[in-house]
Chains A and B, each alone.
Chain A
Amino acid sequence: MTDDPGALRHAPPLPAGATGGDADAPGRAGGAALRRSWLRAVLASALVLVAGGALGAAGHHLERAYGIRPPQTTETATGWHIAGLHGQPFSGLALHGTRLLWHNGPSIEYFDLESGKLRLLGPGPGMRATWAPAVGRRYAVWFEAERSNSLAARAVAYDVERGRRWTLAEIGAVYSLPAVSEGDAVWCSATELTVPRIAGAHIADGTALKIAGEYGIPAIADGLVVWARGAGGPFAAHEMSSGRTWPVVVQGLVGRMTRFALAGRTLVWGQLDSGGSGAVLSAGVDGGETRQLAAGVIGLAGPAFDGTTVVWAERDDGTGGSRVMGRRLDGGDAFLIATAAGEVAEVTVSGGVAAWIAGDGVTSWIDTAGVPR
């Protein structure tokens, strides 16, 4: 009776309680049968949903496991250990607060030291080449292109708070990596085969910044842009608020620079002499004395500087590994932060945490450790 749709149209089942007495028992039985029939339909259709959902979940899992192959992250006694699976070395380590980013093959990967969550930020759809990222308090910026030798790279920004990425600017050919401080990003690039220039953008609204019409490897801190005019210096500075540009006078600049970092109005850099012996030095961008923080360093990597602590890595001939060293700029001797297996390629520091990329020629990994107080 109730299986006849035509009958249903003319005599829909009444809700429970709307019928009364034994005379309505057949109607109640019919209503129960109808409910069971609908329940069976819902359960059967739920099976379709479950089967489809399981297929989608399996597809995602397989893609992550065999296609993307994200690094393995492990919490250690000192911090985190992140091991790559691609066989390609990590590079471009950037740290701000708990936000650690790096370059892994074509991928830009982001790891939150607090939550332990790993995210893949790039490359975006259609892009195959990326360059090392920079990260600030809220934003990360890196470059992407279809090919590494492309003349049409773009700067991509990622808002750490909102989890959103977007194209910040079309930059042309890449001449330097980006640098980020608060809401500003700077880089050196050339558009339309013109000479390279130091430019950038306000990250939030994309407004272009014009810093200098020359080649340079820039760093930025609180509206102050400093760039190295070549692999061995010298430095120049530009204050964005006043538009003033001046050469930064430092002493002892010899050989090849390993890396330089800017925090506040202090510049820290590492350099290698012709014999491969390294030194770490610091100077104010407004002039004054150049301080030597470390000398005779073998296998120098870094330095990095967060405004308080200068961090670098050096070879440890005793163990065959490396030492990650620190020195506070306001005084005191150099101190050991951690010993590292293998050879350290890059170091970074922020807010009392040091991170470094090390490798043994076959595999590459990232470790973090707290900076002793």
Chain B
Amino acid sequence: MPAVRRSVARPSPARERFLLVVLVELWLLNVADFALTRYALWLGFATESNGVMDFFLRAGAAPALAFKIGIVTVGALLLWRLRAYRAATVAAVLLTGVLAAVVSYQVFWVLSL
């Protein structure tokens, strides 16, 4: 019985490690996204199309950074808390993949300027 309970409450250690690394990557990509967005805005070649982020960016770099890092940190912690569910890993992988695509696009875009 305890073994059955443990298997429900915890993912396999391998998946747990994978999720942890993916969430760390997600967090780092989020910081890179913020830095690249700020740089593109400073260059004058872009505008922030996300209304919420635009509000915080207008308030200053520190509030925008606090909001962006804060919300992704909370989201990552939530996914970590839900790590027993395979969906949490799938969500983390999807989010990280999409953010990697966004950051990659931004890097190529900035390099093309």
Interface segment, one of A14-22, A57-65, A227-235, A239-247: A57-65
Whole-angstrom distance between the Cβ of B5 and the nearest chain A Cβ = 13
Minimum CB–CB distance from B15 to chain A (whole Å) comes to 9
Complex-state Cα separation, A56 to B104, whole angstroms: 5
Distance of A5 Cα from B79 Cα, bound (Å): 18
Whether the pair A45, B18 counts as a contact (CB closer than 8 A) is yes
By a CB distance below 8 angstroms, the chain B residues around A48 are: 22, 25, 93, 96-97, 100
**A41-B100 in contact (CB<8A):** no
Partner of A53, one of B13, B101, B109, B113: B101
Chain A count of residues within 8 A CB distance of the other chain: 35
- CA A40 – CA B101 in complex, angstroms? 22
Is the Cβ of A51 less than 8 Å from the Cβ of B97? yes
A165–B45 Cα distance when bound, in Å, is 7
In the complex, what's the smallest C-beta–C-beta distance from A285 to chain B, in angstroms? 35
Q: Report whether B44 and A52 are in contact in the complex, using a CB–CB cutoff of 8 Å.
A: no
What residues on A are CB-neighbors of B13 within 8 Å? Answer: 2-5, 8, 37
C-alpha spacing A61/B16, complex, angstroms: 35
Question: B105 at interface (Cβ–Cβ under 8 A)?
Answer: yes
A44 contacts across to B, CB distance below 8 A: 18, 21
Residues of A within 8 A of B96 (CB): 45, 48-49, 52
Q: What CA separation (Å) do A125 and B98 show in the bound complex?
A: 23
- Across the interface, name the chain B residue whose C-beta is closest to A165: B44
Task: Please state if B47 and A5 are interface contacts (CB–CB under 8 Å).
Answer: no
> Quick check: is A373 within 8 A (CB to CB) of the other chain?
no
Let me know if A164 is at the binding interface, CB within 8 A. Answer: yes
Q: How large is the interface on B (under 10, 10 to 19, 20 to 34, 35 or more residues)?
A: 20 to 34
Q: Given the interface contacts A119-B113, A163-B43, A165-B44, does A49 sit within 8 Å of B108 by beta carbon?
A: no
A166: nearest chain-B partner, CB-CB: B44
Instruction: Point out the residues of chain B lying under 8 angstroms from A41, CB to CB.
Output: 14, 17-18, 20-21
Q: How far is the CB of B34 from chain A (nearest CB, A)?
A: 16
What 1/0 mask marks residues of chain B from 1 to 20 whose CB sits below 8 Å from any chain A CB? 00000000010111011101
Q: Is the CB of B17 within 8 A of A60?
A: no
The answer for the CA separation of A124 and B104 in the assembled complex, in Å, is: 21
Question: Residue on A with the closest CB to B14?
Answer: A37
Residue in A51, A56, A124, A163 whose beta carbon sits within 8 Å of that of B105 in the complex: A56
B77 contacts chain A at the CB level, 8 A cutoff: no
Q: Does A42 contact B (CB under 8 A)?
A: yes
> Of A42, A51, A125, which is within 8 A of B46 by CB?
A125
Is A26 positioned at the interface, with any CB of B under 8 Å from its CB?
A: no
Task: Report whether B97 and A164 are in contact in the complex, using a CB–CB cutoff of 8 Å.
Answer: no
Q: Judge whether B103 is part of the interface by a CB distance below 8 angstroms.
A: yes
Q: Is B112 interfacial (CB-CB < 8 Å)?
A: yes
Partner of A59, one of B16, B43, B105, B112: B105
Question: Does B35 reach chain A (CB closer than 8 Å)?
Answer: no
Q: Is B99 an interface residue (CB 8 A)?
A: yes
Residue A335 lies at the interface, judged by CB distance under 8 Å to chain B: no
Question: Knowing A51-B97, A165-B43 touch, does A37 contact B17 (C-beta < 8 A)?
Answer: yes
Query: Is B102 part of the contact surface with A, judged by Cβ < 8 Å?
Result: yes
Minimum CB–CB distance from B3 to chain A (whole Å) comes to: 11
Nearest-neighbour CB distance to chain A for B76, whole angstroms, equals 13
Smallest CB–CB gap between B6 and chain A, Å?
8
**When the two chains form their complex, are residues A56 and B100 in contact, meaning their CB atoms are under 8 A apart?**
yes
Q: Does A126 contact B (CB under 8 A)?
A: yes
Residues of A within 8 A of B (CB): 2-5, 8, 37-38, 40-42, 44-45, 48-49, 51-57, 59-61, 64, 119-120, 124-126, 163-167
Q: What are 7 A-B pairs with beta-carbon distances under 8 A?
A: A5-B13, A56-B101, A56-B108, A57-B108, A60-B112, A119-B112, A120-B113
Give 11 new A-B contacts, CB below 8 A, not counting A48-B100, A56-B106, A60-B109: A8-B13, A45-B25, A51-B100, A52-B103, A55-B100, A56-B107, A57-B105, A119-B112, A163-B113, A164-B43, A167-B44
Please list the residues of chain B having a beta carbon within 8 angstroms of any beta carbon in chain A: 10, 12-14, 16-18, 20-22, 25, 42-47, 93, 96-109, 112-113
